[in-house]
Amino acid sequence: MNVLSIIWKELKVSFRDYHTFIFMLAIPIVMMLILGSALSKDFDQKIKVDNVHVLYKTTASSEISSYFQAFIKEAKDTGINFKKAADGMNGQKEVEENHYTAFVEVTNKGVKLYGSSQNSIEVSILQGMLTAFADKYNLTAAVASVDPAKISTVLASPAKHDFIAESSLQSTKKPGSMDYYAIAMTTMIAFYSAMYGMGLLRDERVNHTSIRLLAAPIRKGEIFLGKIIGCVLVNMICIIVIIIFSHYVYKADWGSHIGWILLILISEVFLAVSLGLGVSYLIKTHEASRTIITLVIQLASFFGGAYFKIEGATGAFKFITDLSPLTWSNQGITKIIYANDLSAAMVPITLNLGISLLFLTVAIISFQRREGL
């Protein structure tokens, strides 16, 4: 009962302080909007083909040329612009000098395509389009030789636009910029709980309420436990609000296993509170403790990918990034959301709880040795 009373007291005191809402809610929400909007292009998984310039030459019959002109008009709507080669112009040389993406030569015998390796994607798309054009023309010619009345039916068939078929061994579901920063800002603000853990018992001493607590019929262990649980609950409420806001306002994807994600975040908050509490007992002055905690949080956020996405890290840099609690928390949450890999929660939860127990042990030993809080 005493523990519950202390937990309730922590909740009331924390939420009466408007700084809690400003810092724990406004900052991550604003950061999501700024970074998610400014760096959206870095997360774009789509290949865009626009303003492709193709040189062409035709020596085919008027019938084939008319079909090709209709093809050119349709291709223009997809961002591919054809230009007729002037007399005496060497189309292949123009492509070699990168003046044009490709050169197309249309004759009565078929269509020849000359492309540059510098524009392999555009050339592949153009090749698919020309193949579709040639197939349709050959089909039209075959139908005309059998039943000319059916030609209009063939020509009326819809044009083909899926010229590239994409398949992947891995899930194509990837986080967008807002999805990524919703996760990154949430884990970052969860780690900021270390600031509250650092002042968890110090505030009682500064406000001279520690004397009243010790004079009350409450064991020191109950005070310690109640304040830690209360601090974790306060920070988790803020984090849940951030998750709800980012999902419904920013449309961030949190997947269908929110329970496992909350377990990771709870373990990270517990780690942060334990870290702050442990450092506050190891370091004598509050100013020095605050400096160390602030430095640890900023380094963990920077190397944990809170401000920019870190991919393909190797060597010493990978070793440093792997030391950040944000790294393993972000990776676990991302795998749960985008790969439905629930086992990915085990690593961050185990690391967070294991490290938090070390700092908590330091705090408990120091707490028991002190006469006061």
- Find the mean pLDDT for residues 172-186: 85
What's the pLDDT tens digit per position in 240-292? 999 999 999 999 999 999 999 999 999 999 999 999 988 888 887 888 888 99
190 and 128 housed in the same domain: no
Residue with tokens 């709507």: 77
343 and 225 housed in the same domain: yes
Alpha-carbon gap, residue 213 to 215, rounded angstroms: 5
Domain contains 278: yes
Give Rg (Cα) of the chain.
32
Higher-confidence residue of 224 and 209: namely 224
Domain contains 235: yes
Q: Which pLDDT score is estimated for 103?
A: 87
60 and 203 housed in the same domain: no
- Find the mean pLDDT for residues 123-136: 75
Q: Which pLDDT score is estimated for 267?
A: 96
317 and 213 housed in the same domain: yes
240 and 106 housed in the same domain: no
Domain contains 355: yes
pLDDT band (50, 70, 90) for residue 212? low
205 and 342 housed in the same domain: yes
145 and 256 housed in the same domain: no
- Look at residue 199 and tell me whether its pLDDT is greater than 70: yes
Q: Which pLDDT score is estimated for 150?
A: 54
- Find the mean pLDDT for residues 313-325: 90
Domain contains 164: no
Domain contains 166: no
Structure token digits, residue 264 = 């990771």
β-bridge partners, 56: 84, 104
SS in 3 state form for 283-320? CCCHHHHHHHHHHHHHHHHHHCCCCCCCCCCCHHHHHH
Which range marks the domain in which residue 78 is found? Answer: 52-155
310 and 194 housed in the same domain: yes
Domain contains 163: no
Alpha-carbon gap, residue 85 to 95, rounded angstroms: 12
Contact by Cβ (8 Å): 25, 15: no
Q: Which pLDDT score is estimated for 164?
A: 46
For the chain, the domain total comes to 2
Domain contains 352: yes
26 and 140 housed in the same domain: no
Q: Which pLDDT score is estimated for 292?
A: 92
What is the domain-level CATH number for residue 61?
3.40.190
Residue where one domain finishes, among candidates 120, 155, 190: 155
- Find the mean pLDDT for residues 215-227: 75
84 and 150 housed in the same domain: yes
Residue whose C-alpha is closest to residue 56's, from 99, 102, 4: 102
Domain contains 102: yes
132 and 115 housed in the same domain: yes
97 and 189 housed in the same domain: no
